[in-house]
A and B are shown apart, each in its own frame.
Chain A
Amino acid sequence: MLHTEIAIIGGGPAGMCAAIAAANQGARVTLFDRGKRLGGQLVKQTHRFFGSEKEYAGIRGIDIAKILYEEIEKNKLIDVKLDTTVLAIYSDGVISYEEGKSYKRMTSEKTIIAAGAAEKMLLFENNDLPGVYGAGAVQTLMNEHGIVPGNNVLMIGAGNIGLIVSYQLMQAGVKVAAIIDAAPKVGGYLVHASKVRRLGVPILTSHTIKTALGNETVEGAVICEVDDKFNPIPNTDQTIDVDIICLAVGLSPQGELLRQTGCEVKYVPSLGGFVPLRDENLQTTTNGVYVAGDSAEVEEASSAMVEGTIAGLSAAEALGYGTNIVAIKEGFKNDLDVLRSGAVGEKIKSGLKLLSC
């Protein structure tokens, strides 16, 4: 059976940085990704990043993916397996995967799971109608494949994803009829909200969707106001003509492979749902299994990159590679602290306190 020192599952920002960090210390790495190229969600991020310079602030996500990819390509210790989906991690540590059209297996000394997150769905009438999309799916269609989903969009969710995808829809010439959010105020950054407001898109807070209208595909939506307990307020129904309903209502960490390793999890809504316990090296309660990025907790790409680096360094260190890794890691842990300052960061930090082991 094939063998690698560190198996990294997921070639998004966390996985790519984990591979670079571990290989730079001398460890032999296998990086798995189901896509045809590396980058994960970075590939469709056409906007410039915030954060600090060290985490590529001011650079567009798609260009960050390119920078990381070039570094990976140069490193002979990293074996990249594209078009490869990891299918299972068994109790004896065997990893099975589908590479192209063949079924294969591998063992590893350490495993880093950086599998990202999946879009959340919302319950409303006719939520199975064609024309109901996840915001991430719309971004993939437009920014990766050059296809617009429709002509007129109702965006559900005024967090950063809902706001950014609304703006990108408008850049592609699609009308955004409204952005609604059940919360009493906009969840995303003010700078993103202001941008869409200036273009004339109403952001309706304390609103939810009740029904998608249409027979074969979406032809409209019924929305209504909600009270402070998120219950619909009677007689506030409003019908909007749209052909696309786009859901940006949060992400759930991809936990299947983690759970197969038997690691302990906790339900922490502020972090996206069921998330694994981890120590300060991002090792889960399963010895030798690490986690980084949205699989660890739903956050954003900058912190995913730093987490990936910490997990990669820790796995390499555990294999006896590198010198002075403790000090190097301290620097990255400080970076994480800086990224997690502010109101959103406080929420993440208090969630993470419940997960230390």
Chain B
Amino acid sequence: MDEKNIYLCRCENFTLKELHDLLDSGITSMEEIKRLSRGTMGPCQGKTCRDLIAKEIAIYLNKSMSEIDMPTYRAPVKPIKLGEIAGGDKNA
């Protein structure tokens, strides 16, 4: 199977081949992989790919899922227009 056509993160076009290249180059922290690949940082904010990426890292490192440094869940959980936030909360 051609890993360059297997997508982990469809929002950011991050493939299994790109993940394995990063891992082979010695980068095994999910936090670093996220910053370098933008995987989990697209419109869906990792709803689909977060666990997929973590699982592939776990398999590569022969670790359990709980041992992977999963990135934190930042606010907001979905994209929102800046204008809406700038408009402010009328009841604040």
A residues neighboring B (CB under 8 Å): 1-2, 85-88, 90, 96, 98, 101-105, 118-121, 123-128, 210-211, 252, 254-257, 259-260, 266-267, 273-274
Contacts and interface: CB of A to CB of B under 8 A. Distances in A.
Nearest to A115: B77
Given A105-B92, A125-B5, A128-B10, A260 B80 contact: no
Contact of A96 (B65, B66, B75): B75
Nearest to A255: B73
Interface in B70-84: 70, 72-73, 75-78, 80, 84
12 contacts: A1-B91, A85-B78, A87-B77, A103-B89, A104-B90, A105-B92, A123-B16, A125-B1, A125-B2, A254-B47, A273-B51, A273-B65
Given A96-B76, A121-B48, A128-B10, A105 B89 contact: yes
Contacts of A96: 75-76
B65 A260 contact: no
Given A1-B91, A104-B90, 13 more contacts: A85-B78, A87-B75, A102-B84, A103-B80, A103-B84, A103-B87, A119-B48, A123-B52, A127-B6, A128-B7, A256-B73, A259-B72, A260-B75
Interface residues of B, number: 35
A127 B6 CA distance: 6
What 7 A-B pairs have minimum CB-CB distances, sorted nearest first?
A: A88-B75, A87-B76, A259-B73, A103-B84, A128-B7, A256-B77, A256-B73
Interface of B: 1-2, 5-8, 10, 13, 16, 45, 47-49, 51-52, 56, 64-66, 70, 72-73, 75-78, 80, 84-85, 87-92
A302 to B, nearest CB: 25
